[in-house]
Amino acid sequence: MSNHVHRREALRLATAAGLSALLPSRLLAVGAAPELAGNLKAFARKWVGPGKVPGMVIALGLPGLQTRYIAQGSQGFIDPDAMGPDTLFRIYSMTKPVTGMAAMLLVDEGRVGLDQPICDFLPKFAKMNVQVTPDGSVTEVKPAKNPITVRHLITHTSGLAYGIVQQGPIRQLLFEKGLIPGQVSRLTLPGLDRGRHVRGLAAFADGMAALPLVHEPGTRWSYSPGLDLMGRVIEVASGQTFDAFLKERFFGPLGMTSTGFWVERADAARLATNYAVVAGRLVPIDLPETSIYLDRPAFLYGGAGLVSTPRDYDRFLRMIGGLGMLDGKRVMSEAAARLGTSNLLPPAVPKGMIMGMKLDAFGAGGRVGTGAEAGSFGWSGAAGTVGMVDIRSGLTSAIYAQFMPPDALALLPEFQQALRADATALLERRQ
C-alpha cells in the first residue's frame, strides 16, 4: 500500500476510535446491547449488494451479555456462503495489538523490560545509524543517540523504516532486500505488491538492523514495522517461535481456534474474498480457493499477518476489556492489561496531529483514547476492519469487510454514524 493509503487509514481510525468512547458506562447500566441494532442493521443492508460490498459482519459486546453479531451478505460476489461470526478475515494491522499485548506478558513476567534496549536480545541493533534527512540519502547518516527499546517498538517510535510509509531510496532498499512485512495477493498489483520476502523472522531482524533508521529513536511517532520486529524479540526472550507463543498464551486460552498466520486448506471455504477498489468498483484480488494465505508466510508478520474471525477477535477484545479475564479465566494480569492500554509514548514524542490523526496517546500496538474517548483502545486493518474496546465498561465494537484501500468507500464513516444513532436513541428512551 502507498503512503497515502496509510494516511487515509489513520484518518479513518481517528473517526472509528470514538466508537468505544461513545458508549461507555451508560450503556452498561441499561444492559440492553441487543437493542443496539436498528441503525446498524439498516447500515449493513444499505452497504451490501451490487455496486457495494458482498458482505460484512458487525460485532458488539458487553460484559455479561452474549456478543451480538450483525451479518449481512455473502463472503464474496461469486461466493454463496453467508457472512457470519466464523468467517475468516485478513485483519492486517489489527494484528498489532495482539503482538503488543504479547509483549506485555513478557514485561509483566520480568523477561523483557519496557525500556530495555532490544540489542540485549538482538545484538545487531547495538549500533544504529539515522538518516540525516528522513527519506533522503541512505549514505548520509549519523550515529543514533538513543538505543531502540521495547517501548519504541510497540509504540511506533523506534525510527524503523516502513516500506508502506517511506519514500525515496530507503523505500527502494526495503523492497530490494525483501523487508516488507505483510502480504496481499499472488497477483502483482501496483501499490499493493509486496515483492519477494526474506525467509524467517531472524533474517527480517538482521536485515532491518543493517539499514539506517529514518528518525532518532524515542523522538517521533512514525508508523513502522516495530511490531513485526517485536515478534522476533518475543521469540528470543521466550525461547518459542512467535506463533507457538501466541497460541500458548492467547489463542489457546481464549479459544481463538480460527486465528493464525495462514489458513488451512480445510478452512479455505470460510475465507472471505478480498477486493481492491478500482474506479469505485470492487475487483477480486485474493480468492479463497487460491489465496496467498493458504501458504505459510515467508515470516510471521507481527504487525499485519493474522487471519481471524469476528468471534475470535471479540474474545481477545473482551479479555482486554475484562482487564485480563475472560469467562472467569485469567489470561494476563490486570497490571499487564492496564499497562498495555495506557499511554506508553516516550516523553519526547510531540503530541497532536500525526499522519492526519489526533494522537495524544498510544499503547501496546493500539491507539489509546484521551479526553472524551478515555478508556478506548484498538486499531484498524488495511482491508476494511476496525476493532475497539472500552476498558471502563468492557464494551467491544468491531466491523469486518474486505476491500482495499479501506477509505475508498464511505462505509466506515457511515458505520460510526449508525452506531452513534443507535446509542443516542437508546439513551433517549431511557431518559
- Distances from the Cα of 195 to the Cαs of 1, 190, 213, 420, in angstroms? 12, 11, 21, 41
The pLDDT of residue 26 is above 80? no
pLDDT range class, residue 32, cuts 50, 70, 90: very low
67 and 132 housed in the same domain: no
User: Which one of 204, 221, 238 terminates a domain?
Assistant: 238
- Among residues of the chain, what percentage have pLDDT more than 90? 77
Record the cell numbers describing residue 390, joined without a space.
472500552
Q: Could you tell me if 25 and 131 lie in one domain?
A: no
Helix (H, G, I), strand (E, B) or coil at 162: coil
- pLDDT tier at 13, thresholds 50, 70, 90: very low
Q: Check whether residue 276 and residue 383 sit in a common domain.
A: yes
Q: Using CA atoms, how far apart are residues 64 and 83, in angstroms rounded to an integer? A: 25
**Pair 139, 199 in one domain:** yes
Kindly give, in sequence order, each residue whose CB lies less than 8 Å from that of residue 323, ignoring residues fewer than 6 positions away. 334, 337, 338, 391
Average pLDDT, stretch 391-395?
Answer: 88
For residue 80, cis peptide bond before it (omega within 30 degrees of 0):
no
pTM: 0.92
> In the 3-class helix/strand/coil scheme, how is 36-59 assigned residue by residue?
CCHHHHHHHHHHECCCCECEEEEE
* 401 & 273 share domain: yes
| Residue 272 sits in the same domain as residue 392 | yes
Q: What is the CATH number of the domain that holds 418?
A: 3.40.710.10
Residue 156 and residue 122 in one domain = yes
* Three-class DSSP category at 61: strand
120 has a pLDDT exceeding 80: yes
Q: What is the pLDDT of residues 177-221, one digit of tens each?
A: 999 999 999 998 777 766 789 999 999 999 999 999 999 999 999
- d(Cα 208, Cα 177) in Å, to the nearest integer? 9
**Least-confidence region, from 266-270, 285-289, 391-395:** 391-395
Is 243:305 a contact under the CB 8 Å cutoff?
Answer: no
The region of weakest confidence among 75-84, 85-94, 170-179, 369-378 is: 369-378
- What cell was used for 334? 490486570
Q: Taking 80 as the threshold, does the pLDDT of residue 277 lie above it?
A: yes
| pLDDT at residue 395 in the model | 85
The pLDDT of residue 354: 63
Could you give the number of structural domains in the chain? 2
- Indicate the range of 34-43, 63-72, 259-268, 309-318 predicted with least confidence: 34-43
* Average pLDDT value over all residues in the chain: 89
Q: E strands of 110-207, at which residues?
A: 129-131, 141-143
AA identity, residue 347: P
**What is the rounded distance in angstroms from the CA atom of residue 195 to the CA atom of residue 181?**
10
| Chain segment 131-185, per-residue pLDDT in tens | 999 999 999 999 999 999 999 999 999 999 999 999 999 999 999 999 999 999 9
Q: Is the pLDDT of residue 355 over 80?
A: no
The pLDDT-based confidence of 61 (bands split at 50, 70, 90) is confident
Residues 51 and 138 in one domain: no
Range of the domain at 183: 100-238
Residue 261 in this model has a pLDDT that exceeds 90: yes
Q: Are residues 281 and 313 in the same domain?
A: yes
Q: Where are the alpha helices (DSSP H) in 284-363?
A: 310-321, 334-340
